[in-house]
Chain A
């Protein structure tokens, strides 16, 4: 295998053989973008299937099992149905914003995928502010939700959107701070370097107590960030019907739906990268075969995705004021103290390294 820094450069180097450098660069990026788009649209669909299967296991049911073996083509069929459906809209909606909103949501989630180190080579975009980029990009999605709620001229959608705004702004803090705690340990925001540091032990082990606390806060905040139960204020179906996407149908609804699942994947993937050593295998058992890293990465991510699904199918929903109480009165102070503890640990060199 050609050892280069990442997948984009590999493709570009190959293309330069046939064409001028500028064209090769643009074409290379487009090819990588298309590959990612194709992979993650399908991955999103299979996450939906997994969610339905997990829900079924929790709820004494079988789950989808008619379309394809084990229901493997069920979500494909659903997606086809959604594509072919009519795009309805409300008459008094703000048409421009109404049509724009789904793209904010889906683009922000797809963009975040670019920086993940699936293996050492399979990383589209290795910028030196990787973590910062992830936090920044993942908070763009809330604009789409706010726009969707506001522009569809529906009171239930508006309540849902406002709840989403208040929730995302609050929990963004916890996500940022808990990741910052880990950054103290690595001393770098670049994801590839964060992974390199973990060759001496996954960060959750290196940072021991504060790292575990940071991980727990991260998972709680991450669940809230993706608007999933027990923090699904935004689309609390027993309170608001469908919440912010009440007025959306067909493919526009599908964008919101897909974005929710890709976001869940992203939250789990960040946790994998920062806490569980990304593509690194435990004790380096498959170090000689680098491409196996992608299985380790996906395996760890799916475990965390399963954890989030587990939350969803067992917990009742919090009330909106309890949600804010949890963040501002508990998570945030704990987080701040945790950062100080982590700083002291790093300063006194009390980390565990193998």
Chain B
């Protein structure tokens, strides 16, 4: 909504306010230093470091099998995909040829993770714009995915299911049936999301035209994932640099050109539909075979630099390993999607109201441990 500032005789003064580190809208320990004039945001300055655990430094100490476990603790809502990123980098460096079974299972799990993550995001998004009920609807469906994970991996949040060379165990016998049940269930529930929130006139007023990010800005800020795609920047790693089994499924990259909060919202809803279609294409014909290939107990990568990127629920996660031939990486760098996406918050929030900041921040889908590693 356009607001024109009328020159008035009232003397107004900018003031400073701390949003976070303990604030309901920052979903964790993000601290935003806001400069506000009345309700209008003049400047947003994210202040990081409250949960820095020096994961990258810890990776230099650990063996490659151990590094996988650390990645769970970065973006905990897409832990499967984080694990996969490290495993793929190591496997590429070792030039391991993985069985098809591993690739397909990894893809299914990644897409389930994506749905679970977006379910949680949707609930929290609703909560941020004031509709508290969405939270419980989102969690109801996420819970079903977590149950599937629990049965197969033994964990609900930090999976540790991928290991360099494949999967830690084979899938649980119930896995296929339960996944199918979930897809059938979720196909009836996802339209409910639209009727509850998407179609709501207040919600559309709150999100349309708010936090607009142009395609050029999206590219120059390094936006990725749904944030970039909401601005019309085709940046889906699954499409452009397919890994695992993404080259054998057909799916559409969810793209919107408006670049506002509502476009980013729609991209994520669309991604849930696409994720379901990907799972449906794969779930019926998981190839038979081994669930892992044998690797050495101590993995030593050949000397060199390796980079692999994957598409997490938040965007592009890159793993960059420099190896000098020892059992630990010499240097390991994660290119996390949340960090780049947070960097554009100031750009899209300035000029809006406090409510706009909260709504835009919700569609950036920030997970703070991913930003602060």
A residues with a Cβ closer than 8 A to B are 55, 58-61, 155-156, 159, 229-230, 232, 236-241, 313-322
Q: Which of B127, B196, B206, B358 contacts A318 (CB 8 A)?
A: B206
Alpha-carbon distance between A322 and B39 when the two chains are bound, in angstroms: 13
Residues of B within 8 A of A238 (CB): 24-25, 127-130, 358
Alpha-carbon distance between A156 and B126 when the two chains are bound, in angstroms: 22
A317 in contact with B353 (CB, 8 Å): no
Complex: chain A residue closest to B131, CB-CB: A316
Q: Which of B3, B135, B136, B202 contacts A317 (CB 8 A)?
A: B202
Residues of B within 8 A of A313 (CB): 132-133
B307 at the interface (CB under 8 A from A): no
A239 in contact with B358 (CB, 8 Å): yes
Q: What 5 A-B pairs come out closest when comparing CB atoms?
A: A317-B130, A59-B136, A316-B131, A316-B129, A319-B355
A321 in contact with B3 (CB, 8 Å): yes
B6 at the interface (CB under 8 A from A): no
Q: Which of A155, A314, A315 contacts B17 (CB 8 A)?
A: A155
B303 at the interface (CB under 8 A from A): no
A236 in contact with B130 (CB, 8 Å): yes
User: Could you list 11 examples of A-B contacts with CB < 8 Å?
Assistant: A55-B133, A59-B136, A229-B130, A240-B354, A241-B23, A241-B24, A316-B200, A317-B131, A317-B202, A319-B353, A322-B202
| A159-B39, A319-B355, A322-B205 given; A232·B130 CB < 8 A | yes
Q: Which of A58, A61, A316 contacts B130 (CB 8 A)?
A: A316
Complex: chain B residue closest to A58, CB-CB: B133
Q: Which of B15, B23, B131 contacts A155 (CB 8 A)?
A: B15
Q: Tell me the number of A-to-B contacts counted with CB atoms below 8 Å.
A: 82
Residues of B within 8 A of A61 (CB): 136
- How distant is B335 from chain A, measured CB to nearest CB, in Å? 29
B131 in contact with A314 (CB, 8 Å): yes
- How distant is A17 from chain B, measured CB to nearest CB, in Å? 55
- Most B Cβ at <10 Å: residue of A155, A156, A238, A313: A238
Residues of A within 8 A of B140 (CB): 60
Residues of B within 8 A of A319 (CB): 205-206, 353, 355-356
A59 in contact with B133 (CB, 8 Å): yes
Complex: chain A residue closest to B357, CB-CB: A239
B203 at the interface (CB under 8 A from A): yes
Residues of A within 8 A of B24 (CB): 237-238, 241
Alpha-carbon distance between A239 and B39 when the two chains are bound, in angstroms: 11
Complex: chain B residue closest to A61, CB-CB: B136
Residues of B within 8 A of A156 (CB): 17
Residues of A within 8 A of B133 (CB): 55, 58-59, 313-314
Complex: chain B residue closest to A163, CB-CB: B39
Residues of A within 8 A of B128 (CB): 238
B273 at the interface (CB under 8 A from A): no
Q: Which of B3, B15, B202, B354 contacts A239 (CB 8 A)?
A: B354
Residues of B within 8 A of A318 (CB): 202, 205-206
B130 in contact with A315 (CB, 8 Å): yes
B221 at the interface (CB under 8 A from A): no
Alpha-carbon distance between A59 and B200 when the two chains are bound, in angstroms: 17
Please encode chain B, from 181 to 209, with 1 for each CB lying within 8 Å of some chain A CB and 0 for all others. 00000000000000011001011011000
Complex: chain A residue closest to B136, CB-CB: A59
Complex: chain A residue closest to B137, CB-CB: A60
Residues of A within 8 A of B136 (CB): 59-61
A321 in contact with B132 (CB, 8 Å): no
New A-B pairs, 18, CB < 8 Å, besides A230-B202, A316-B130, A316-B131: A55-B132, A60-B136, A60-B140, A155-B15, A159-B39, A237-B24, A238-B129, A238-B130, A239-B355, A315-B131, A315-B202, A316-B197, A318-B205, A318-B206, A319-B206, A322-B202, A322-B205, A322-B206
B1 at the interface (CB under 8 A from A): yes
Alpha-carbon distance between A319 and B208 when the two chains are bound, in angstroms: 12
A317 in contact with B355 (CB, 8 Å): yes
Alpha-carbon distance between A60 and B144 when the two chains are bound, in angstroms: 15
- How distant is A92 from chain B, measured CB to nearest CB, in Å? 16
Please encode chain B, from 112 to 152, with 1 for each CB lying within 8 Å of some chain A CB and 0 for all others. 00000000000000111111110111001000000000000
- How distant is A5 from chain B, measured CB to nearest CB, in Å? 45
- How distant is B344 from chain A, measured CB to nearest CB, in Å? 20
Residues of A within 8 A of B203 (CB): 316
| A229-B130, A239-B25 given; A314·B196 CB < 8 A | yes
- How distant is B202 from chain A, measured CB to nearest CB, in Å? 5
Alpha-carbon distance between A230 and B197 when the two chains are bound, in angstroms: 13
Residues of B within 8 A of A321 (CB): 1, 3, 39, 353
Alpha-carbon distance between A236 and B353 when the two chains are bound, in angstroms: 13
Residues of A within 8 A of B137 (CB): 59-60
- How distant is B305 from chain A, measured CB to nearest CB, in Å? 43
Alpha-carbon distance between A236 and B15 when the two chains are bound, in angstroms: 20
- Most A Cβ at <10 Å: residue of B1, B3, B126, B354: B354
Residues of A within 8 A of B129 (CB): 238, 316-317
Residues of B within 8 A of A322 (CB): 1, 202, 205-206
Residues of B within 8 A of A230 (CB): 130, 202
Alpha-carbon distance between A59 and B202 when the two chains are bound, in angstroms: 20
Complex: chain A residue closest to B200, CB-CB: A316
Residues of B within 8 A of A236 (CB): 130, 355
Complex: chain A residue closest to B352, CB-CB: A319
Please encode chain B, from 1 to 23, with 1 for each CB lying within 8 Å of some chain A CB and 0 for all others. 10100000000000101000001
Complex: chain A residue closest to B25, CB-CB: A238
Complex: chain A residue closest to B130, CB-CB: A317
| A60-B136, A238-B358, A241-B24 given; A320·B130 CB < 8 A | no
Complex: chain B residue closest to A230, CB-CB: B202
- B313-366 at interface with A (beta carbon < 8 Å): 353-356, 358
- How distant is B20 from chain A, measured CB to nearest CB, in Å? 10
Alpha-carbon distance between A320 and B358 when the two chains are bound, in angstroms: 13
Alpha-carbon distance between A37 and B126 when the two chains are bound, in angstroms: 38
- B148-200 at interface with A (beta carbon < 8 Å): 196-197, 200
Residues of B within 8 A of A237 (CB): 24
Complex: chain A residue closest to B205, CB-CB: A322
- Most B Cβ at <10 Å: residue of A60, A315, A318: A315
Alpha-carbon distance between A313 and B3 when the two chains are bound, in angstroms: 29
